[in-house]
Amino acid sequence: MVKVADSAASGRSSKSFIDEGLWSAMKTQIKAGDYVFIEFGHNDEKTADPLRYTDPATTYREYLKTYVCEARSLGAIPVLLTPISRRSFAGTVISPSHGAYPAAVLAVAAETSTPVIDMTERTRVWLEALGPTDSVPYFAPGDNTHLSAMGAPEVAKLVAAGIKDLKLPLASELAP
């Protein structure tokens, strides 16, 4: 049986999640053998907000490494995820909106030998298959970043597929 503890907090970046004490609080709940899924990027991109902004070449990577190293020090298994694609179409193709952030996650994964699920790519493929019109209900009304109640389970299925593709031991606990 898999138990999920969602410690995400809307609007946080890799920096503000630590600065606000949310990571410290979360660490008190982590036990050896737990999986810690780490996904940031959307709010790290906000250059005008010094409380959230991180540079993808430096501070963003440092914060991701902090999560990975501290999760491991607790006996947990960290898994990095690139940020999901925004519903930002140019015709029938998703326009990349995360700049260097997905590549930074992939680099940190390689540097730290951490499993990574490329959610930017997985959600791009999913959204393009749906198309500009049929993808609308999967996002909050008037919002091309945040998922709706209909979209969240679909993206969760993409994460589950990523877990299976990585052949993580957790995969045996997931529905076929």
pLDDT in tens, 150-163: 999 999 999 999 99
Residue 3 within a domain: no
Q: Is the pTM of this model over 0.75?
A: yes
Q: What are phi and psi of 37, to 5 degrees?
A: -90, 125
2 pLDDT more than 80: yes
1 pLDDT more than 90: no
Residue 5 within a domain: no
For residue range 102-149, what is the model confidence (pLDDT) as tens digits? 999 999 999 999 999 999 999 999 999 999 999 999 999 999 999 999
State residue 52's pLDDT score.
Answer: 98
The domain that holds 161 is classified in CATH as 3.40.50.1110
The DSSP H or E segment spanning 38 is strand 35-39
Return the structure tokens found at 85: 């694609």
Residue 34 within a domain: yes
Residue 9 within a domain: no
Query: Mean per-residue pLDDT for 29-34?
Result: 96
Return the structure tokens found at 122: 């997985």
176 pLDDT more than 80: no
Collapse the DSSP code of 35 into the 3-class scheme (helix H, G, I; strand E, B; otherwise coil) and give the result: strand
For residue range 5-18, what is the model confidence (pLDDT) as tens digits? 999 999 999 999 99
Residue 106 within a domain: yes
Tally the domains of the chain. 1
Query: Mean per-residue pLDDT for 46-59?
Result: 97
Residue 88 within a domain: yes
Residue 123 within a domain: yes
Query: Which residues constitute the domain of residue 136?
Result: 14-173
Residue 6 within a domain: no
State residue 100's pLDDT score.
Answer: 98
Q: How many CB atoms lie within 10 A of CB 90?
A: 9
For residue range 56-103, what is the model confidence (pLDDT) as tens digits? 999 999 999 999 999 999 999 999 999 999 999 999 999 999 999 999
